[in-house]
Structure 1
Amino acid sequence: MSRPLPLALAQLPPIPAKAQLRDFAAEMESIRSRFPDTRLAVFPELHLCGVDTLGAQAHEQLQEIAEPLDGSRVKALGELAGDLGMWLIPGTVCERGPEGQLYNTAVVFSPEGRLEASYRKIFPWRPSEPYDPGDRFVVFDIPGTGRIGLSICYDAWFPEVARHLAWMGAEVIVNPVMTTTADRAQETVLARANAIVNQVYVVSVNTAGPLGRGHSLVVDPEGRVRAEATGDGSTILTDVIDLDDVTRVRTYGTAGVTRMWDQFTPDDTPIELPLYGGRIDPRTWRPHGHPAA
């Protein structure tokens, strides 16, 4: 069985604040025109937040444009996704929380224009980012295709995020990024590592230059780079991934050998995890949807 998911990854610079939704609509219409089979379009972190600088000035911009998820920005993005009839992750938005919090939030819209999921970045890049951290992991389903997990930029440096998303049944982890620093080279390694140790696809979409370092990429469940932007220039990276590859790799093993999700038997002794005040329980180790779960 095949479960294809045609992707368009928009490695582009942030849109200036004065023309956000108009210019974003033009970007989306261009993708639809050039790549009409696209089912999911993904943009970089803060793509719609008008951030074209760093430091205190950027923090002021973020505070000024923050809106609740029932605000006009999210409504307009939903209408755009519905008009184009595709799944849309427009990067992240600045969300104003119910008690005045500032969240860096990834939003997902269905082809019907519904706000299907939202995820607040759990690991802000401290001390440089002003956001309040989120407190939960988020996955969503594309009917007939599979389950997608959300992480944002620096989350990729914490293996707990990818592990929990995979355990929740994610077969693809989408990671919108706005990396402006020299450690993008390490992030591409982490994308492969997170894919390998969780047997999932990883989709990492970075901002283009001159602000961002680019190098967006798609990694398969065995850690192979399927598609990659080799520099920081503006580009639309396309691929068609098959989520049934996740089932294949988890069934037969990475390189036909390694099946870490089948490591434990129910009779194995739980492993204490003092760092977390918790444990690995062999009875609950396998992810949602695993044949033996």
Structure 2
Amino acid sequence: MRASLIQLTVSDTESADERRSHAAELVRGRAGDDLVVLPELWTTGAWAYDAWERGAEPVDGPTARAMSEAASAAGVWLHAGTLVERGSDGALRNTALVFDPTGALRGMYRKIHRYGFTVGEAAQMAAGQEVVTVTTEFGTLGIATCYDLRFPELFRALVDAGTEILVVASAWPARRREQWRILVRARAVEEQAIVLACCAGGTHSDMKQAGGSLIVDPWGTVLAEAGEGKEILTADVDVDVVAAIREELPVLQDRVLAIPAPPAGQAAAG
């Protein structure tokens, strides 16, 4: 599988239409790849909270149409990053879209873990409820977004659902870039899976982005890593190595589930 992560930079001076046009052009240029990935909330800016309401769109809106056409033109699977979705219920959600090489929408993941505590996503967006995988001819994709990285139980659920390739769109802040790198590699090692983690670069809404998109194998080895700015990161990845490593080191079979926790404030004996 040849994968490309398009590490976009989001400028406060660009319109959403300009961003869509630029992203579509870059995707169309990836003919020959198998899978292309974009970062989180690149049409509005992941930290531009005041832009989300006016920039929200349905899942069949202008971003989806542009990305569907670009995927079809390039003949690639496309994880189109995420957009601010306005659902039929009126709620906003941070939603990832996955298109196949014909441009058909094959997967949609609404971010489960919302960052911000009392502001941002936590205050303005509804949480997703479903674990999402997408079956392709080169392996099963498991979809997650940014802050989800801090919650390994989601990734274990994705592996239980058959995932071999974990795909993460993000807009991680630069001041926590080392945590980003650690968490991406940890998810690869824990789940014995390939991780394709595409993060935004540049600065928007006064928040410097980490960049540092990563392609990591199931041993936790970094196969490719981007810098801080706009960049296309490409690597050839052997998906068969996932099954080989899981057979060689079958740690997932030793999981022990539902261990009861001691009462709060009481240490376990032993």
TM-score category, normalised to shorter length: 0.7 to 0.9
After TM superposition, list the pairs within 5 Å mapping 1:61-210 onto structure 2.
61-127=51-117, 128-129=120-121, 130-143=124-137, 145-210=138-203
- Deviation, 1:7, is 0.7
Unaligned runs of 5+ in 1: 254-258, 265-269, 276-293
> Per the alignment, in what secondary structure is the counterpart of residue 91 of structure 1?
strand
Q: Which residue of 2 aligns with 1:284?
A: none
8 Å contact from structure 2 (residues 199, 213) kept in 1? yes
Q: Which residue of 1 aligns with 2:212?
A: 215
Indicate the percent of aligned positions where both proteins have the same amino acid: 35
Q: Which residue of 2 aligns with 1:261?
A: 252
Distance in 2 separating the partners of 1:222 and 1:22: 37
- Deviation, 1:180, is 2.0
Pick closer, same or farther for the CA change 1:263–1:207 going to 2, 3 Å. same
- Deviation, 1:200, is 0.4
Pick closer, same or farther for the CA change 1:72–1:216 going to 2, 3 Å. closer
8 Å contact from structure 1 (residues 48, 90) kept in 2? no
- Deviation, 1:71, is 2.7
Instruction: Output the amino acid matched with 1:149.
Output: G
Pick closer, same or farther for the CA change 1:163–1:25 going to 2, 3 Å. same
- Deviation, 1:227, is 0.9
Distance in 1 separating the partners of 2:188 and 2:81: 20
- Deviation, 1:70, is 2.7
Q: Which is worse superposed, 179-188 or 157-166?
A: 179-188
Instruction: Output the amino acid matched with 1:116.
Output: R
Distance in 2 separating the partners of 1:274 and 1:110: 43
Q: Which residue of 1 aligns with 2:3?
A: 7
Distance in 2 separating the partners of 1:125 and 1:241: 31
Unaligned runs of 5+ in 2: 262-270
Instruction: Output the amino acid matched with 2:151.
Output: F
8 Å contact from structure 1 (residues 14, 46) kept in 2? no
Q: Which residue of 1 aligns with 2:267?
A: none
Aligned pairs, how many? 250
Encode CA deviations 1:139-185: one digit per residue, 9 max, x unaligned: 00112x11000000000000111111111110011111101241121
> Per the alignment, in what secondary structure is the counterpart of residue 40 of structure 2?
coil
Q: Which residue of 2 aligns with 1:272?
A: 258
> Per the alignment, in what secondary structure is the counterpart of residue 90 of structure 1?
strand
Instruction: Output the amino acid matched with 1:138.
Output: V
Q: 1:227 aligns with which of 209, 224, 227?
A: 224
Q: Which residue of 1 aligns with 2:27?
A: 28
TM-score (norm 1): 0.80
Q: Which residue of 1 aligns with 2:246?
A: 250
Distance in 1 separating the partners of 2:9 and 2:163: 28
Q: Which is worse superposed, 7-16 or 98-107?
A: 7-16
Instruction: Output the amino acid matched with 1:45.
Output: E
Distance in 2 separating the partners of 1:43 and 1:155: 16
Distance in 2 separating the partners of 1:163 and 1:101: 28
Distance in 2 separating the partners of 1:163 and 1:271: 12
Distance in 2 separating the partners of 1:180 and 1:236: 19
